[in-house]
Amino acid sequence: MAPSAAGGVNPDLVRRRLRVTGTVQGVGFRPFVYRLAADLALSGWVGNDSLGVILEGEGPAPALDELARRLVDEAPPLARIDTLDVEALAATGETGFTVVDSRVAGAPAVAVPVDVATCADCERELFDPADRRFGYPFVNCTNCGPRYTIIRSIPYDRAATTMAGFAMCADCRREYEDPADRRFHAEPTCCPACGPQLSLVAPDGGLLAKAGDALDSAVELLGAGRILAVKGLGGYHLACDATDPAAVAELRRRKARDDKPFALMVDLPMARSLCYLSADAEEALTSPRRPIVLAPRRHEAPIATGVAPNLPELGLMLAYTPVHLQLLAGVARPLVMTSGNLSDEPIAHDDTDALVRLGPMVDAILTHDRGIHIRGDDSVVRAGTARVQMVRRSRGYAPEPIGLPTPARRHVLAVGAELKSTVAVAKGDNVVASHHIGDLEHLAAYRSFLQAVDHLCGLTGVTPEVVAHDLHPEYLSTKFAAELDLPAVGVQHHHAHIASCLVEHRWTEPVLGVAFDGLGMGTDGTAWGGELLVADLDGFRRVGHLLQVALPGGDRAAREPWRMAVAWLAATLGPEAAERYGRTVDDRWAAVLGLALRPDVLRTSSAGRLFDAVAALLGLRTRITYEAQAAIELEAAAAGQPLAGPGGYELDVVAGPEGLLLDPGPLLATVVAERDRGTPAGEISAGFHAGLGRGVAGAARRAAADNGLDTVALSGGVFQNARLTDVVVGALEAAGLRVLVHRLLPPNDGGVSVGQAAIAARCVD
C-alpha cells in the first residue's frame, strides 16, 4: 500500500481504482455502484469513460474487497462485465460518494446496450393507479426499455436517441438527476406529461383515437376478431386473437403467408397452458431478452389451427413492452404477433412505410410517436429436450459483443451470406453481429443491409481495414464486398459455419467440423452442404462429404422437394426407382429425371436437400412455401417417436480418394421399402434421423481419429433439427469425443458473418 499523501488520513483506509469494461453503460451501472458504495460506507466517485465504467473507492480493505465481489455478483440484469481491473491508490481522506458525468473523447469501446423487456418494477407502476405513470405505455427505467433500436449514434445519451425531441418534465428530470433514483440517467425515461403518446390510426392514415382511448379501442377491436398493426420496440407486428380461427385465417390471407407459423404473445399462465415448458424453456421465455421460444404444444391447446399448421411446436413470447402488457391484459387471450410485413419482406419499422405497406392488411394501426431508428425483429430460440438453441439472434441479443478467442489483428467487416443475413464487425477482443436483416434477394432487405453496415460500424467505432465475404459470386453481400476499396477475404461458407461455432466456445485448436446445411459454394464450384472439415480459425481441409447428386432445376430444386427425391433415388437406387416415384408425384418427372442423370448439371452434397428428398418420398411435402419447410415437417412427423428409432436404417461410409464418402443409399432403400409396406411416416422419419445421425457420428469419429482430433463441432442450418442433433451428440459423446454445439449463435446462415469475421480477424495480410 502506498503511503498516504494526506497527513490526517486514517491508516486503516485504503483507496482503489476499479475499471470495468463490457456492457456497462446504459444499463444502470453507475447508480448500482452508487448504492453499493452507500451500502458499504465507502467514499469516492464513479463515472463513465470511453472504455466503460471507472470508479474509485476509499474505505477499509475488507469493504473494498466486498465492493469488487459484489460488482460482479450483483451487477444489474442488463450489464455484462468483460473485465474488472483493480489498482491500488493512496487514500485521500475524501468523504461522500459522487456520480460524475465524465465523457472522455476517443474511439468508443463501450458496448451498445440491447433492448430489454419491461422490468417488474416498471410493470408494477404501469398497473398501479396511485403511480404517476399508471397506464402509461412508455414507462421504462435504467433496467429496461428501448436501447439499440432508438440509438442513432454514440456516446449513448438521450440527445443521440429518438427520444431527443421529448424534453423531460421537471419530475422526470429530478429522477434522472438523482443518483439514488432507479431512473438516474435512464436516457429514454419519460412520463405521460412529457413523453410519447399512442394513437390509433385508420388504414388510410386518419386519426381514430389518442392515448388511453387508442389503447381501449385497440383492445376492443382485437377482442372482436379484427386485425391490427401494432408498433412495438423494433418494428410493427400484425396482431389478432389467436383463438379465433376466422381472424387467423384472414390474417394469413392478407399477409399472403401460406403455412409459415405465426408467433404468439402470451402471459406465463397462458404459455404453460399452451405448451410443455422445460425449466430451460421457461428461463428463456421469462428472460429480459424475451425471445420467441419454440416449444412442444399441448394437444388440447386452445389455439386456431391456422397458427402453426402441421407443426407440433408453438412459438411463444411474453409481452416485452408496456403496450404489449396492456393489450394482453385487456384482451386476456393469446395474441398472434407476427412480423409486420408482406410474406418475407423485412419488418416495417418506419411509420410512413408501415402505413403504406401494412395499411391495406389491417383494420387499424396502433402506433406512437417514438421513432425506431433501427429495426429489430423478434429473436427466436428453440427449446428442445436437451438444449435451448438460437434460431434467430436479433432483438434483445444484438448488438451484444461476443468474445473472440484471440484479439482481432485489424478492424474487420464481415458481410455474411444471402439468406437470414446478418453482418458483423470485429475489433479488439470482440466480434459484434448485427440484428437479423433477412433474405437479401428482397430489395428492401438489401437496403436494410446497407443501413446495418453503416450503423454497426458507427456504433462500434470500426473503420473496416478488411472485408470478409462468402465465396458465392452471386450473393449481393459478395458483390457489395467487391465494390469496397478494401482488401477482401473470401471465406468458404461451411468453414465460416464451423468457425462461428468455434468462436462461441472460444476454441482455437483444430476440430473435426460437421457442417450439415442447405447450399453453400464449395472451393470446387459445386454446392456443398454435407461436409466433414478439419478446421480451425486459420483454415480448413475437406476430409469427407455426403454423396453428391444433381440439383435438377437449380433454385427450383430447393422449392420443390420432389425434384430432390427424384435426384437422390436416381443417384442411389437407380433411374427405375426414380421413375417409379416420379410418376406418382408430378407429370414433369421425366424431364426432371433427365436433368438428374445429366453429368453437366450443378451437383450438391447438401444434407438439407437430402431431408427435403425424404420428406417428399414420405408424401409429407412436395412443394414448400417457406425455407426449410420440408425438413421441419419431416422432423415434426417423428415427434413422440423414440430417439433411437426403429432398426434397419444405415448410412454407408466408405473411404475414397476425396476422404470419407457418406452414402445414404441403404438409408433411402429402407425408407422406400418401409413406405411401400405402409409403415407410418413418423416411424420412418424417426428411423431416418437415427440412422443418418449415427452414421454421421461414426464418420466424424473416424475422421477425427484419422486426423488426431478429439473434438467435433456441429454447425449448419440442418443442426436446427433437435432430433438429429440429439442423436449425433449422443453418439459422439458415447464415443468419448468432446462436442461443440451452438448456443449463442444460430447454426443457420444467421451465424455466418461471425465466423467470417473471426477468420478474417486472424489473417495477417
* Residue ranges binding Fe ion (CB under 5 A): 517, 520, 749
168 versus 684: smaller Cβ distance to Zn ion? 168
Who contacts 485 (Cβ-Cβ below 8 Å, separation ≥6)? none
CB 296 within 8 A of CB 271: no
Report the C-alpha gap between 128 and 13 in whole angstroms.
Answer: 45
Q: Which residues have C-beta within 8 Å of that of residue 120, sequence separation ≥ 6?
A: none
Of 517 and 726, nearer to Fe ion (C-beta) is 517
Measured distance CA(226)–CA(204) in Å, rounded: 16
State the minimum distance, in angstroms, from the CB of residue 559 to Fe ion: 17
Residue 120 is a binding residue for Zn ion (CB under 5 A): no
Nearest residue to 530 (alpha-carbon basis) of 696, 339, 374, 649: 696
Whole-number Å distance between alpha carbons of 509 and 537: 8
Stretch 178-197: interaction string toward Zn ion, x if CB under 5 A: -------------x-xx---
Give the residue among 389, 461, 432 at the shortest CA–CA distance from 753: 432
| 172 binds Zn ion per the rule CB under 5 A | yes
Rounded to whole angstroms, how far apart are CA atoms 192 and 196?
Answer: 8
Which C-beta is closer to Zn ion: that of 144 or that of 424? 144
193 binds, among Zn ion, Fe ion, none (CB under 5 to 8 A by kind): Zn ion
All residues at 6 or more sequence positions from 125 whose CB lies less than 8 Å from its CB, including other chains: 131, 133, 134, 139
Residue 663 per-residue DSSP state: E
The reply to whether 141 sits near Zn ion by the rule CB under 5 A is yes
Give the number of other CB atoms < 10 A from CB of residue 82.
16
Helices and strands (H, E) in the chain, number of each type: 23, 31
Beta strand residue intervals within 90-227, DSSP E: 97-100, 198-201, 207-210
- The grid coordinates listed for 253 are 390471407
Q: In this complex, which beta carbon is closest to Zn ion, that of residue 166 or of residue 449?
A: 166
Closest contact distance (angstroms) between CB of 420 and Fe ion is: 9
> From the list Zn ion, Fe ion, none, which binds 122 (C-beta under 5 to 8 Å, kind-based)?
Zn ion
Segment interacting with Zn ion (CB under 5 A) among 171-179, 337-345, 385-393, 430-438: 171-179
| Min separation Cβ 72 and Zn ion, Å | 22
* Residue 169 binds which entry of Zn ion, Fe ion, none, CB below 5-8 Å type-dependent: Zn ion
Q: Which stretch binds Zn ion (CB under 5 A): 84-92, 140-148, 150-158, 478-486?
A: 140-148
Nearest residue (CB) to Zn ion, 63 versus 169:
169
Q: Binding of Zn ion at residue 381 (CB under 5 A)?
A: no
Least distance to Fe ion from the beta carbon of 547, Å?
19
- Least separation in angstroms between residue 518's CB and Fe ion is 6
Q: In angstroms, give the least distance from the CB of 185 to Zn ion.
A: 13
Residue nearest to Fe ion (CB): 517
C-alpha cell at 636: 415434426
**Residue closer to Fe ion, measured from CB, 142 or 389:** 389
Number of residues that bind Zn ion (CB under 5 A): 10
Q: Does 169 participate in binding Zn ion (rule CB under 5 A)?
A: yes
Comparison of 196 and 530: residue with beta carbon closer to Fe ion: 530
Whole-number Å distance between alpha carbons of 675 and 617: 8
Q: What share of the chain is helix, strand, coil (3-state, %, to 5)?
A: 35, 25, 40
- Residue 191 Cβ, how far from Zn ion at the closest point, in Å? 3
Which partner in Zn ion, Fe ion, none is near 172 (CB below 5 to 8 A by kind)? Zn ion
Q: Using CB distances below 5 to 8 A depending on partner kind, what does residue 38 bind out of Zn ion, Fe ion, none? A: none
Q: How far apart are CA 728 and CA 387, in angstroms?
A: 14
> Cell numbers of 710, please?
478429439
Residue 196 preceded by cis peptide, ω within 30: no
The cell numbers describing 645, all together, are: 428409432
**Residue 764 burial (C-beta neighbours within 10 Å; 0-12, 13-18, 19+):** exposed
List the x/- string, 76-115, binding to Zn ion by CB under 5 A: ----------------------------------------
Q: Between 119 and 348, whose beta carbon lies closer to Zn ion?
A: 119
In whole angstroms, the minimum distance from the beta carbon of 168 to Zn ion comes to: 6
Task: Work out whether 117 is an interface residue with Zn ion (CB under 5 A).
Answer: no
The residues that bridge with 381 in the sheet, in sequence order, are: 293, 390
Query: Nearer Cβ to Fe ion, position 430 or 500?
Result: 500
What angle do helix axes 722-734 and 681-706 make, rounded to 10 degrees?
A: 40
Picked from Fe ion, Zn ion, none, the partner binding residue 72 (CB below 5 to 8 A depending on kind) is none
Residues that bind Zn ion (CB under 5 A): 119, 122, 141, 143-144, 169, 172, 191, 193-194
